[in-house]
Amino acid sequence: MVAGDRFSDEKGVRINRLGITDPQQLAQAETDSSLLRLQRLNVQGGIPGGRYDHAHLKQVHQKLFEGVYQWAGETRADREFQGHKPTYVTGFKETMTYAPYKEIELRLNAIGEQLGKENNLKGLSEEKFAERAAYYLDQYNHTHAFRDGNGRTLQATFVQLGKEAGYQVDFARIDPATLNRARDLAMVRPHEPQEAEKNLQALKAMFEQVISPAPGVEAEKLRDPSQARPLAALSPQMQAMDARRELEVTGYRVMDIVANMPGAGNYEKGVEVGKGVEATNLDPGAIQTHLRQFQQAAEKIIKHPALQGPDARQDQTDARRFLAAAEQVSEMTIGKFVVNENQYRSVPVLKTHEEAQAMFKVAAMQIAQKLRENNQEFAAARLEEVTKHVDRTPYLGGLNRENVGKAVEVANKISELGDSRLLVELKDAVSILEKSPLHAERTGGRAAVSRPRSEGFER
């Protein structure tokens, strides 16, 4: 238990309406109360008209835990709790990092929206229902909306989802350890994106054990293939969430490898990689500050003479994954997709350095003025100095690129700039200007990027 996390008292015991101060007694009271409520909610069919979004899961949590906790129905965002959790599911210590608490509502709504586009999994065979249910349970689990009670909240949610798709879902058919192991494997993603389905195999197998076709004509209609609405592609929101998850899971493993390499300064470099991953998890715009650091860490692993044999294959794979994810997150934050509190929206993609040069000068000077209005003189001066350089040369590198990243990091924290068109245009221009004009010309307007490989880490 964690003391002082706003869900707990000074001794780390969850704040509760029963006045219990002993953690074991509280755990028993919570179990007794929530399991009865879970059974009742399942019999009732769940939340009427539920959309499997932020509001839906909050209602489920409240109904399950309001007998014990006055904060039942509150997400981690309500009391600003982040947190992470270790697991040894792969045989090594891994760090499971959950969605930033500020994005819980956004992410639950994005998951619920995509689920709705699949008609809430109606019209699917048992095998396909298990496959898609595994995908969505993993997405909800990574979002990890609540301080405690996520497992029972998701059980109630998927019992309702199954019933509305013509299936009975009975989690009592499996040992809780089986479910926990399957969830953790999906979280740490041991397999690379090209084999993403393997990360969900244990969850899919778990669902295949707990589901069965519900009896009756109505349930049969719900399973009719005419009801199926398969998705052609993930939404931009889901793609961006997935890229950031890939960065997190491989980043912490890379941190561990670098930190444990022999040699002066490697431990500190590994720790800095971990801090950069954490910063990017909380604010994807921070990738611009840490991208070069991430690239160097991956290259360090790839080139290390002790990490070249078959025993280091996983390290090399993780390094490649980490770099690819970092580049994808970078593109999403200063290129095609920009994170907004409510959505990911498309941004025009510039094609030439001349176009980027003109856009950068206009956007940078206006942003510098806004920075000064918000008492950010140093960030404004940095941006103005870089603008003078860009006015002469349509290229950003070295200290100039670093200074733009720092100015953008400050601007992202100012409400009137963080979601402004000006900042979107500046980032779009940077994505072109940071590439050598000659290199871009040789690669058809887009700089070619080698993708190194990375390693595993313990935190």
Please tell me the distance from the alpha carbon of residue 66 to that of residue 59, in angstroms, as a whole number.
Answer: 10
Other Cβ atoms closer than 10 A to 154: 24
Strand-pair category, 211-213 with 167-169? antiparallel
Q: How far is CA 329 from CA 52, 288, 294, 387, 421, in A?
A: 27, 9, 12, 25, 19
Q: Return averaged pLDDT per consecutive 10 residues of the chain, 459 residues in all.
A: 75 94 96 97 94 96 97 95 90 90 95 95 97 98 96 98 98 95 96 93 98 97 94 84 95 94 91 94 91 94 88 91 93 59 42 82 86 89 91 88 89 76 82 71 36 29
The single residue listed with the structure tokens 């074991």 is 24
Strand-pair category, 344-346 with 167-169? unpaired
pLDDT (0 to 100) of residue 224: 96
The single residue listed with the structure tokens 């991208």 is 291
Phi-psi region of 457 (alpha: psi -120 to 50; beta: other; left: phi over 0): beta
pLDDT (0 to 100) of residue 359: 83
* Amino acid sitting at position 156: A
**C-beta of residue 68 within 8 angstroms of C-beta of residue 18:** yes
Nearest to 214 by CA among 248, 257, 171, 169: 169
406: which residues sit within 8 A by CB, 6+ positions away?
A: 289, 379, 382
Structure token digits, residue 48: 């009427």
**C-beta of residue 247 within 8 angstroms of C-beta of residue 326:** yes
Please tell me the distance from the alpha carbon of residue 210 to that of residue 203, in angstroms, as a whole number.
Answer: 11
pLDDT (0 to 100) of residue 447: 34
355: which residues sit within 8 A by CB, 6+ positions away?
A: 432
**C-beta of residue 420 within 8 angstroms of C-beta of residue 339:** no
pLDDT (0 to 100) of residue 437: 66
Sign of CA pseudo-dihedral 108, 149, 283, 270? negative
Other Cβ atoms closer than 10 A to 191: 15
What does residue 345 show for φ and ψ, rounded to 5 degrees? -120, 150
Please tell me the distance from the alpha carbon of residue 14 to that of residue 126, in angstroms, as a whole number.
Answer: 39
- DSSP, residue by residue, 82-136: --EEEE-TTSS-EEEEPPPGGGHHHHHHHHHHHHHHTGGGTT--HHHHHHHHHHH
Residue 454 in 3-state DSSP? Answer: strand
The single residue listed with the structure tokens 């349509």 is 394
pLDDT in tens, 388-444: 999 888 888 889 998 998 898 898 888 777 667 778 888 888 888 888 765 444 334
**Per-chain mean pLDDT for the chain:** 87
The domain 23-227 belongs to what CATH superfamily?
A: Fido-like domain (1.10.3290.10)
Rg (CA), the chain: 24
Extents of the domains making up the chain = 23-227, 236-339, 353-442
